[in-house]
Amino acid sequence: MQDSKLQELLDSLSVTEKIGQLVQVPGEVLNTQGQELGVREDLGLSEEIVRNVGSTLNVVGAERMKAVQKAYMERSRHKIPLLFMADIIYGFRTVFPVPLALGCSFDPGLLEKLCEVTSEESVAAGAHVTFSPMVDLVRDARWGRCLESTGEDPYMNSLYAAAMVKGFQKGLGSDKPAGMASCVKHFAAYGAPEGGRDYNTVDMSQRRLRQEYLPSYKAGVDAGCEMVMTSFNTVDGIPSTGNKWLMNDVLREEWGFEGVVITDYAAIAELVLHGAAEDQKDAARLAMEAGVDIDMCTGCYANYLEELIQEGKINEKQLDKAVMRILKLKNKLGLFEDPYRGADEAEEARLFLSEGNRRLAREAAVRTMVLLENKENTLPLEAGGKIALIGPYADNQDALGMWAIHGKKEAVITLKTALEEAAGKENVVSAPGCETLLEKDYHDLPALRMQMGMEGWSREKRQLELEKAAELAEKADVAVLALGEAVIQGGEGGSRTSLEIPGDQLELLRRVREKASKVIVVLFGGRPLVLDEVSRLSDALLEVWFPGTEGGHGIADVLFGKDNPSGRLSMSMPRSVGQMPLYYNHFNTGRPYDGVTPNRFFSRYTDCSNTPLYPFGYGLSYHKAEYGPLTLSSHILRRESSLTVKADITNTGDVPGTEAVQLYIRDVAGSVVRPVKELKGVQLVPLKAGETKTVQFTITEEMLRFYGKDMECRAEAGRFQVMVAPHSGCEMQAEFVLE
C-alpha cells in the first residue's frame, strides 16, 4: 500500500480507532477459537477498544493465529489486520543455546544464521514480530536475565545485536512472506540494576551510559530493527517508558530511529508505582510525550488518551504519528494484502525440528560450550570405558532455559540418551544423585511444588541417592557429573544472592570425588556461577549453559572428541558473589593491586582475589595454541591513516582446532579515566595440527574514540597499549602513539 493510501486510512479513523492501534492485548482477550471477542476486566477495556486493538501478544501457531485474525477482521470496520508479536528469543520450536552461551561463540555470523532459522519457523507459526534481540550489557551474575544477554562486552554485544537483527529480518519487505520484525530491547541499561535485583534502580553517569551501555542498542537500530522496547528501570531518575530524553532526543532525534516503540509488559502503568506519575492517566500522558507508540497490556492508553486529547494535554498529531508508524510496519509486513502472512500448517510440519534445524542446533551447542578445566588431558574420552553418568541433569530434558516458551521439552535430547548412543548402553550407568535444588535455594519452591502436585525427596532418600551415586562412580572408569542451577532460578525475576551450585550438588560432587578415578563435570545454567570448589574437585569442567534442543548430542560430541570445543567466556566467572559486578574492562583506580604485595591499602579484598576465577574470553580446547611476539607496522598512528598489528599463532597440538584470537587496546591516559583494556577485534582462526598462521588486525583512530571531559566522542592524542591474546587476562605487549 502506498504512503498516500496509508494517510487516507489514517484520516478515516476515529480517535477511538486510532487509540486502538496503540493498544496491545494478551492473547486470551482475543478468543483463539475465532468466537466472540472477550474483554479482560483487569485491563478495563471496552468492547469498542477490543474490536480495534492493533496487536496481540504470544498468540502463535498457524491454526490459532488464522482463527484470531479471521475473527478480528470480520469485526473490523477498516479491515486493519492485527500484528502478532511474541517472545521468541533464541529459537521457536527448535531451541538453540541461550544467548549468554551464543555470546561464547565469538561468531556474529553464527547468531545471524540461528536467527534466520528461528524467523523461518516463527513466520510459519504466524508471528510477525519477535521481542528479540535482548542487547542489554550485563556485568552482574546475580541478575537472572544474564541468560538472555550476550555478555559483558560492549564491542561484542554490538556485533551480536546487528547480526541478530539482520538474521530475524532477512527477507522482510520482499514479495514472499519472509523475515519478521525485530524488536531490540530493553532500552536502556536494563542489565545494570542495583544489587543484581531485577526491575531495580539503575543509576549511572551519562558518560558510562553512552560509552558502555548504549552502543549495542544503537547497533541494532543501525542494522534496521523495526521496533524498540522500553526497559522497566529508571535512567537518570526517570523510568525509561516516560523518559523523553531517552526515547525521543536520543533514539529518534540523535539516532534517527523511525520505527515503533513499544513498552515492556504493563510498563506504562508501572510509572505510577515508580512515583513518576500520579495515576494511570498521568502515566499515559508521560508515555505519549516520550514517544511510546504501543501500550503493552495495560488500559492506560485505551482508557485515557482520548480524554487527554480533549483536555488539550496531548495533541492529536502526536497520536497520528504513533498510529502511522504502526500502519507502516503492518504495510511493510504485507498484512494489508495478506493478513495471514506466512501462517501455514504445512510449513510448520516441514520446518519445526527438521533434520537441518536440529543439525544447526547441535552445531550451535558445540560451538558455545566452554572447556574451563582439562587436567592431564582428561578429555576427550576414549571409547570403550565404563561411564557413570550422575547428577540431576543426567537424564533431564529441562535444558531449554527459562525463556524458550515455544519450545517443547519432550523434543530435547538428554545427555543420557546421547552418551548411550555414543558409548553404547552397556557402557553407561546413570543415577540422579540428588535433586536440582532445595527450599534454601528457592524460597517459592514449596508453593511451586504444591501447584505442580510434586513432592521433594525425604532426608532418607537424599542420603540413599548420594550413596548410590558414589557406588556407581567407584565401579566406573570415569564419572560424568551433570550439575547446574535449576531453570527456574534464572530468567526474568530470577535474581539470586548466592551463585553456588544449588541443592545437594556440591555434596554429591564431594562424595563422587572420593570414589571415582576421574571426574568430569558438565555444568548447566544461565549465568556465571562460583566454581572454585567445582574446579578443584574436577578433572575436567565443561560449561554447557542451557544448550537447547540438541544439547545432549552436542555435549557427547565434545566429550568424545568428535568436535573440539572452541567457546570462550562471554562473562567473567567469579570467585565469590561478593565480587559482583565483575568485568574485565574496569578502571585501574589510584591504588591498583598487583595481587602479591601484602598491604591492605590498595583497592583489594582481604579475603578474596580481585581477579575472576576464569576471565572474559577464556576457554580451553583440545588443541594447544602458542602466540608469537606481536609486531606493529608503526609505533605512530596518524588520524587519517591506520596501523597493523600482527602475531603468529601456532597450533602446537596434534588435533585441528579454531582459535578465537582477541585484540585488546588500552588508552594509557585521557581527559577522563579509561579502562585497563578494551576488546577491539576478534578473529576465529582455524588451525591444522602443527600449522602457523599470521593474524593481522588493523587499528584506526575511530576505534580509539570515547566520551571525553566535554562529552564529545573523539580520540585523544597519546600513548596506547595493545595485545593480541587468547583471553582478557593476559598482559599488554606493545605500545603506539596517536598523534
* Strands (DSSP E) found in 94-168: 129-130
Q: Quick one: CA torsion of 133, 134, 139, 144, rounded to 10 degrees?
A: -130
Could you give phi then psi for residue 311, rounded to 5 degrees?
-85, -5
**590-609 burial code (b ≥16 CB/10 A, e <16):** eeebeeeeeeeeeebeeeee
CA dist 407 and 93 (Å) reads 4
- Whether the CB-CB separation of 408 and 93 falls below 8 Å is answered with yes
**Can you name the residues that pair with 644 across neighbouring β-strands?**
698
Q: Per-residue DSSP letters for 692-739?
A: EEEEEEEEEGGGG-EE-TTS-EE--SEEEEEEEESSTTSPP-EEEEE-
Length of the chain counted residue by residue: 739
Task: Indicate the angle between helix axes 154-168 and 108-124, nearest 10 degrees.
Answer: 30
Task: Indicate the angle between helix axes 551-559 and 355-368, nearest 10 degrees.
Answer: 50
The radius of gyration of the chain's CA atoms, rounded to the nearest angstrom, is: 27
- Which SS3 state, helix, strand or coil, does residue 375 take? helix
CA dist 298 and 446 (Å) reads 31
CA dist 545 and 371 (Å) reads 11
Q: Per-residue DSSP letters for 438-493?
A: -TTT-TTHHHHHHHHT--PPPHHHHHHHHHHHHHHHHHSSEEEEEEE--GGGSSTT
Classify residue 277 as exposed, middle or buried by CB count within 10 Å of its CB (0-12, 13-18, 19+).
buried
Q: Which residues does the annotation mark as catalytic? A: 264
Q: Which helix (DSSP H) or strand (DSSP E) does residue 346 occupy?
A: helix 345-351
CA dist 156 and 137 (Å) reads 10
- Whether the CB-CB separation of 689 and 655 falls below 8 Å is answered with yes
Q: Which of 400, 484, 393, 414 is nearest to 96 (CA)?
A: 400
